[in-house]
Amino acid sequence: MQGAVDTILDAVGRTPIVRLSKIGAELEASLFAKCEYLSPSGSAKDRMARALVDAAEASGELHPGGTIVEATSGNTGAALALVAAVRGYKCVCVVPDKIGPEKIASLRAYGARVVVAPSAVEPDDSRSLRSVARRLAKSTPNAWFANQFEAAAGPAAYAASLGPEIWEQTGGELDAVVVGVGSGATAMGLAQFLKAKKPELAVIGVEPRGSLFSELARSGRVTAPSAYQLEGIGSDFVPKILDLGRLDALLQVEDGEAFRTTRDLVRLEGLYAGGSSGAVVAAAVAWARAQGGPRRVLAILADRASAYSSKIFDDAWMRENGFLPDEEGLGTVRDLLHLKGGEGVITAKAHDRVRDVVNRMKAHGISQLPVMRDDALLGAVAEVDLLRYLVSGESSLDGHVEPLVESHYATASLDTRIEELQAALAEAGMAIVVEDGRVAGIVTKIDLIDYLARRAS
C-alpha cells in the first residue's frame, strides 16, 4: 500500500517541532519543543536503539534468536524491547527500583524480562544496575549487552538522524538546543552535528539537582551524588561517551520544578511529555531569561507522560514527596536562612592552610566549611575530615586544605522547598545553598530541625 512502511522501526523520526505559546510567554526569547515523545516506543531512544542493534548485527555481536540485555531507567529498555519484538530477539532489562509501574508494564508488554536492581548503591556495587546487567549478559547464552553508556553508536545515531532533522526543520534558524543528559548520547550527537553546521549555536545540557555532572564540569571532581526522583537524566557515574567540554552550559533542575513544569506542559500546551521533558523546558526558560534577547531556543522533549501517571500526575504522590505541597507547605530554604540569621557565609580557599581553617571554624563555632577555588565551589571540609587528617600521622598544619575536601553534601537553591531539602539531607550531612553561582548559605540537619521546631512553636 502506498505510504505504508515495512515495520514500525521505519516510522522512527520525523517528530514535529511545536512553538510554546504559554510557558515562557513573558520572555523575549521564542521557545520551541521537539516532540520526541511521539516516537513509536514513546521516547527519543528509538533512534539510538535501532542504531545500536544495527551495529551489533553488522559486527556479529548479536546473532539471530539472541538476547538483548541492557541497564536502563526505562526508555532505552522500551526502545530495545521494541526492536527485539520486531526482529525476533529476546530482551532483558535491568531497571532501578525507583521507576514507576507504567514503565515496567510497558517493558513486559513488549515481551521483555524485567529485573529490578536497587538504586541506592554505589555504581561499582555488585547489586548496581550496570553490574547486574553485565552479569546477566555473561551468564545468558547468546546474549549481547547493549551498553548505551559506552557504545559510540549511540551519539552517532543522533548525529546522523536527530541533528539533521532539526537542522532541516528549522532551516538553521536556531540559537540554542536544550537537552537532558543521562548517558550523554543525545547531547553528544546533537553537539557533533549542529555545532559543525553552526559553531555559535549553544548546546545546553540538563540534569537533576543531585546528579554529578555539573560539579564535574565546574571543578573537575567526581563528587558523591545525592538522591533525586527524576528518571532518564542525571547519573551517579560518568559515562564513557560523555564529554562535558562539548556543552556550552550544564544546568541543574530540582525535582519539584521539573515535575510542576511537566504538568504545565500537558495542561497549558497540550504536550503529553514526561518528567525529563519538564526539566528541560524549565532549564530552557531559565537559560533564555538569563541570556536575554530574542533568541530561538529548542527544548528536546524526550519521553511521554504516560510513563509517569502514577507519580508526576498523581496529586497524592506529588504531595507525599513535597512536590505539590498543601496550601502553605513548610516554606523554602530562603525562609530557613532568614530565620537562622547570623553572619554571612564563611568559606575557605583551596590554598588555605589547615591551621587557618581549624582556627576559622573554631572562631565561628561551625563544624563545616565550603571550600572555593577562585569563585567556584570546590567542595566542603568538615570536622571529621580534619580529625581524620590530624590523627593520620602524616598531617601538617601548614598543608593546604584542598586534599581534605570531600563531596558528601547536597546542593540546594534559595527556592528549594523544605520538603525537598529534608529528602536531600537524609543522605548528606549538609546542603550547600548555591544561587547564581555563589554560595548563599549552609544548611545542616540541626538547622532544619531548629527551623521546623521554631515554626511549630
On whether both 37 and 52 belong to a single domain, the answer is no
**Which residues is 92 bridged to in the sheet?**
69, 113
**Catalytic status, residue 45:** yes
On whether both 81 and 197 belong to a single domain, the answer is no
Sheet holding 296-301, edge to edge: 17-19, 30-35, 296-301, 176-180, 202-208, 249-253
Cα distances from 103 to residues 76, 156, 232, in angstroms, run 11, 26, 12
Q: Give the DSSP H/E element, type plus range, for residue 451.
A: helix 445-456
C-alpha cell at 177: 538546543
- Give 142-197 pLDDT, tens digit per residue: 999 999 999 999 999 999 999 999 999 999 999 999 999 999 999 999 999 999 99
On whether both 175 and 186 belong to a single domain, the answer is yes
Domain count within the chain:
3
Say if 310 falls within a structural domain. Answer: yes
On whether both 277 and 187 belong to a single domain, the answer is yes
For position 221, what pLDDT does the model report? 79
- Give 254-270 pLDDT, tens digit per residue: 999 999 999 999 999 99
On whether both 39 and 178 belong to a single domain, the answer is yes
Q: What are the two backbone dihedrals, phi and then psi, of residue 344, each rounded to the nearest 5 degrees?
A: -65, 180
User: Please, are residues 191 and 183 in contact by the beta-carbon 8 Å criterion?
Assistant: no
On whether both 29 and 137 belong to a single domain, the answer is no
Mean pLDDT by 10 residues, the chain (457 residues): 92 97 95 98 97 97 97 94 97 92 94 91 86 95 96 97 98 98 97 98 96 86 82 92 96 95 96 97 97 96 94 91 72 86 79 87 82 79 79 74 78 84 77 81 86 82
Closest CA to 297 of 176, 171, 169, 172: 176
Say if 222 falls within a structural domain. Answer: yes
Q: What is the CATH number of the domain that holds 363?
A: 3.10.580.10
For position 306, what pLDDT does the model report? 93
* Structural domain containing residue 118: 46-145
On whether both 289 and 428 belong to a single domain, the answer is no
Taking 3-state DSSP, the helix, strand and coil percentages for the chain, each rounded to the nearest 5, stand at: 40, 20, 40
Q: Which pairing describes strands 368-373 and 376-382: parallel, antiparallel, or unpaired?
A: antiparallel
For position 411, what pLDDT does the model report? 83
Q: What is the CATH number of the domain that holds 260?
A: 3.40.50.1100
User: Please, are residues 347 and 280 in contact by the beta-carbon 8 Å criterion?
Assistant: no
Say if 98 falls within a structural domain. Answer: yes
Say if 327 falls within a structural domain. Answer: no
With both helix axes pointing from N to C terminus, report the angle between 418-425 and 333-340 in degrees, rounded to the nearest 10.
Answer: 80
For position 343, what pLDDT does the model report? 65
For position 124, what pLDDT does the model report? 82
For position 325, what pLDDT does the model report? 65
Phi-psi label, residue 368: left if phi above 0, alpha if psi -120 to 50, beta otherwise:
beta
Domain stop point among 119, 145, 171: 145
On whether both 32 and 127 belong to a single domain, the answer is no
Domain stop point among 270, 294, 320: 320
Distance CA 421, CA 90 (A): 42
For position 215, what pLDDT does the model report? 84
Distance CA 56, CA 58 (A): 5
Say if 326 falls within a structural domain. Answer: no
Say if 325 falls within a structural domain. Answer: no
On whether both 206 and 275 belong to a single domain, the answer is yes
Catalytic residue among 22, 34, 45, 103: 45
DSSP one-letter code for 11: G
Say if 3 falls within a structural domain. Answer: no
Residue 362 has a CB neighbour count (10 Å cut-off) of 9
On whether both 168 and 282 belong to a single domain, the answer is yes
On whether both 63 and 39 belong to a single domain, the answer is no
Question: For the whole model, what pTM was predicted?
Answer: 0.79
User: Please, are residues 145 and 71 in contact by the beta-carbon 8 Å criterion?
Assistant: no
For position 319, what pLDDT does the model report? 86
Say if 1 falls within a structural domain. Answer: no
C-alpha cell at 257: 520544578
Cα distances from 308 to residues 106, 315, 325, in angstroms, run 12, 12, 19
On whether both 448 and 400 belong to a single domain, the answer is yes
Domain stop point among 320, 351, 380: 320
